[in-house]
Chains A and B, each alone.
Chain A
Amino acid sequence: MTIRYRKERLDRGIKVRTEDIFALSSYKEILYLVLPRALPVLFLLIFPLLKGLVGLYWEKVLIITCITALLALSWDLLASVGLISLGQALFFGAGAYLTGYLNHSFGWPPLVTIPLGTLGGALFCTLFLLPVLRIRGVYFAIVTLTLPLLLVRVIEATKILGGTEGLSGLSRLSENIWVELYIPVLALFLCLFGFRRLINMDYGLVLQGIRDNDLAVMSGAINIHKFKAQAVFIAALAGAFPGAFMTHYYQFVGMPAFALDFSILPLTCAVLGGVGNFAGPLLGAFILVPLSEILRAFGTLRVVFYSAILIVCVVGLPEGIFHYLERKYHQFERLVKVA
C-alpha cells in the first residue's frame, strides 16, 4: 500500500500571536502587522517626491494608476452589493462632462467644479440606474454596459456639450505640480480606507447581506432598494471624481470619457487583484496600469491582453492575486500523511 499525502494549511504562529493585544510584545510582531498596511501608503506618499529620480512620465503614470484604482474600488463596492457593473465609464463620463460643462459655461474654478461635478455626476448616474435596482440578475450589468455607449451617441447626435469635438480650453487644475500629484493619491487613500471601514460596519454587513441573500435581508424589515441606491451613489462618487479630476488635468473633456477603456480596465484590475476587500483592486491597478504603459507599443492588442487576463482569472484564479498573497502571508502549507 502506498503512503498518500494531503496538503494541510495552518495559520503561522506569528499570525495567531498578533491577533490580540500581544502584538505589542515585540518589534517583529508589530512589523508583521504594520508593514503590509504601511508600505503601500508610504510608497504612494513618497513616490511623487521622487520626481527628479523617476521622471515626470512615471509620475503621470502614477496619476493614471490612481484614477484607474479609484474606478476599480468603485466597481468593488458595487460588487459587494451584488451589482455587476460593466460600465464604470458611465460614472467617469458623467463626472467629467458635468465638471467640464460647469467650467466651460460659467467659468467656475476647479475648486468649485470638481466637488460639484463629482456630486452631480454621481446623482445623475444614481437616478439613471434607480429603476434597474429593482430587478435581480444580469440586468444591472446589461444596463450599465449600454448607457455609456448610448450617451456617447446622444452627445454625437444632439451636438450638446461640444458634440464630437468636446469642450476644450478648460482651466488648469493648478500650476503647482504637487497639487496635481497628491490629489489623486489622497483621494485613493480616502476611498480605500473609507470603503474598508464602511464594509466592516453594520451598514456594510447589510450591503453584503443583500448580495448573499436579498430575501433574507428584506425579511429583516430592511428596505433593500434604499440600501442599494445608497451604495450605487457612494460607488458613483468614487467613479465620478476621477472623471472630474481628469477633466481639469487634461483641460479637455470629450467623447473618450465614455470610452470602453474606462470600463474594462478597472474591471480587469478588480478581477486580477481579487474581489471583496478593496485592497485587491488596488493591487490589480498597480500591476496592470504600469504594465500597460510598458506594453504601449502593442496598441489595441493590449485590450485583447486584458480580455485574456479576465478570462484566465475568472476561470483559473477566481480568488485573485491579493487573496493568494494574503493566504501565503498568514498561513503555511505542509504535507500530512493520510491515515
Chain B
Amino acid sequence: MRISDLLTPELITTELPVTDKNQVIEAMLKLIENDPRVIDFQKVRQSVFDREKVMSTGVGKNFAIPHGKTDSISDLIIAFGKSDEPINYSSLDGQPVYLVLLMVGKENNVSFNIKILSRVSRMMSNDQFREKLRLAASADEIRTIFSEEESKFFDL
C-alpha cells in the first residue's frame, strides 16, 4: 500500500483556513466527511479531537499530523491539506504550520497505523520534500510529489 494511492484529489486541499487549529482540523475532517469508508462521521471526528486533546500533533517543522483511531471506518483514510499562510497550531517548536496530514486508522490495526505515521514522519523530515509540497499549487501536483518521494521506500 502506498500513501499516494490513498490521496485521491478530493482528499487534498490547498486552501486550509488560517484562523485557528480547531478550524484547520475541522476543515481536514470536512474532506473525508462524505468518504464511503466513513461509517459514523461524528465518531471519526471525536477520535481525532480526543487524540489531539492528549497532546498536540503539531510535531514541528511546519507540519501537523492530526490522527485518530476508531471502529467507525471501514478502512484507513488519509487526507492532505496545505496553506500558503502560516497557521497557528501550537506546535512544540513554536513554528507555524503550513502542511497538515490527517490520518484515521482502524481501532484494531495498531501496528499498521503506527507504520503509516512513521512513514509520514520520515518523509516529512526531508526538508526538500516539505519545500516541494509548500510550493505545490494543485492536488495533482501534491499527489505526484508524494508518489515520487514514496518510490524511495518499500510498499507498506
Are the chains A and B members of one assembly? no
Taking Cβ atoms with an 8 Å cutoff, the residues of B that contact A are none
